[in-house]
Chains A and B, each alone.
Chain A
Amino acid sequence: MRLAILDHGHGIRAKAMFVLIRIFSGHPVVDAVKLAFYRPSFYRGGGLTQEAMRGRSEWSVADRELMAAYVSKVNETQFCIAAHTATSSLAYNDGAKVSAALADLETAPLSEPLRATLRMLGKLTRENSVDADDMRGVLAAGASEQQIKDAIAVAFAFNVTDRLADVFDFAVDDLVAINAGAKYLLARGYR
């Protein structure tokens, strides 16, 4: 972590919670959690991320976790690629599908609405803008207007989180800890 305050500057309640996390999970506290509990009155992005990732949607939780992994791949944010590849793989119970989507979107075994949506999110993330023709393409592939809005919300959450993970230099955990984190995100979410 590049700022010492994000490692050691928490209040006493957060520090006590980190001790409990270490004891009960058997893993160190991941950097994303340290960020979430640093001065929560200032940033506190968890509520928005929870709504985007776990609120009611025609997209499944697995689909939205794949969107998070895909946006993170375009941003080249290693921490978030690892975390959300694992979470999406667990949610689909199909790691090969997630790997295929991240390796080559056009040939991966995905529904056409999801493929077109990921394509649009990739362009938005890479080029910072999309246009009406891009949206017509996603609608023509079968995604609903609301599904597009829901996907844009996921992209917002991860275009923030990826930047914070990169600038603050989140450590990429070992595979056992990443999979434990994925189970936690599916069971408890982002709050």
Chain B
Amino acid sequence: MSDITSLHSSLVARVLEGEGRASPETRRAAFDNEGLPEPLSTFVDKVAHRARTVTDADIGTLKKAGLSEDQIYEVVVCAAIGRATRQYQNALAALSAVTGRN
């Protein structure tokens, strides 16, 4: 059967701890959607919960605040994977609660 467990772990490790232009602290905070300063905090929350409403102006605001495109790219990837990971883990836990197995 398909099993993404180890692929998921290595993906998360790569984007949080691998080589990047944004600091590991910023990437972790984007993943968790927690503890970021503005304007990143509002932006990352939008990526996590209302991604389709992100606009060119949102990206422009981040650039004006001094972020490079590569830093924005990494923050978006971490925020998306973080949100999807929480959904994924929630669903696996709900299934485990029924089956009694991990």
A45 touches B94 (CB 8 A): no
**Is residue B19 contacting chain A, with contact meaning CB distance below 8 A?**
yes
CB < 8 Å: which of B54, B69, B87, B91 contacts A5?
B69
CB < 8 Å: which of A5, A124, A145, A160 contacts B90?
A124
**Residue of B whose beta carbon sits closest to that of A6:** B73
42-58 of chain A: CB within 8 A of chain B: 42-45, 47-48, 51-52, 55-58
Q: Tell me the complex Cα distance, A162–B49, Å.
A: 12
Measured between beta carbons, the chain B residues less than 8 angstroms from A129 are 87, 90-91, 94
Q: How large is the interface on B (under 10, 10 to 19, 20 to 34, 35 or more residues)?
A: 35 or more
**Could you say which of A22-30, A93-101, A134-142, A174-182 contacts chain B?**
A134-142
**Residue of A whose beta carbon sits closest to that of B84:** A159
CB < 8 Å: which of B2, B59, B94, B101 contacts A150?
B2
Contact with B along A1-28 (1 / 0, CB 8 A): 0111110010000000000000000000
B94 touches A131 (CB 8 A): yes
